[in-house]
Structure 1
Amino acid sequence: RPVTVGYMYMLKLNHLVDDKMHARSTGPYSLITQQPLGGKAQFGGQRFGEMEVWALEAYGASYTLQEMLTVKSDDVPGRTKIYENIVKGDQRMEASIPESFNVLVKEIRSLGLNIEMKQDD
C-alpha cells in the first residue's frame, strides 16, 4: 500500500467580513446593455442568474421576477418612471422593454434579418 511521506504545511487564510461586505442602491451601468456592473471593485450589484430566475418562477413570484429583470436591471424608461412614482407616492410599476432585448434585436438586424415587434393596444 502506498504511503504519503513528507512535510505538511498549513496556512491561515485571512478573510475578513469588512473586506467581503458590499451593498449597492444605485451606481454605474454598462454603456451597451445598461445593466448594473458586477463586482465590488466596480461598485456593481449581485448577479441574478438563470437558476435564481428558475427558483422565482417555480415559487410563482412573477411580480418580483418582473421587477428584477426589468426595472432593477436594464429597463431605462421604467427605472426613471419608478423613481418618479416613488417621489410622488404612487405604487404602480410600469415595465417596458429591457435594453438587453434591444441589443439582441440590433444584433439580429446586423445579420441581415428583419425583426418587428407587434404591440397590443
Structure 2
Amino acid sequence: RHGNKGVVAKILPEEDLPYLPDGTPIEICLNPLGVPSRMNIGQVLETHLGWAAHALGYTCSTPVFAGATVDEIKAELRTAGLPEDGKMVLRDGRTGEPFDQRICVGYIYMLKLSHLVDDKIHARSTGPYSLVTQQPLGDKAQFGGQRF
C-alpha cells in the first residue's frame, strides 16, 4: 500500500521466526532499507498505528492526505501501554537470544502484487509490421515485437 516491494526470500517454520517478549511470532520481516530508498514513511506510521489499534481492540481507517499525525500515533501507543517509538526487543526463534537492537514491530496490510512471468512472457517470429517504418509493431496486445 505504500509502494514497498520485494520478494519472498525465505519461508521458515513458526518456531524459527523472531518473537516478541510475550511469545508472539513475527509473521513477516521486511528489509529496513526499503523505507528510506522508496521514501514510504507512511508504512512505518501505519505499522505503529496498527499496533496501537490492535492492542486497544479497534480498527482504524484514515483519509489518504489527512491521516493521523505522528503525535496522535504516539499518544495511541502510550494509551495502549506500548513504547512510543514502536520498537521492541525481539528474540531469535532459533537460538532464543535477543537481537542487539530494538526493532520496529506492528500491524500492517500487505498485498500480493500479481505480476507473474506466465502472464508477461511474449515472443514472436513473424507478425504485423508498421506500414510507415516497416518495423515490428510494439506492444504485446498487438502481437508486436522488439524494434531494431
TM over 0.5: no
Give the structure-1-normalised TM-score.
0.33
Q: Which has the higher contact order (CA 8 A, sep 6+)?
A: 2
Q: Going by fraction, where is helix more abundant, 1 or 2?
A: 1
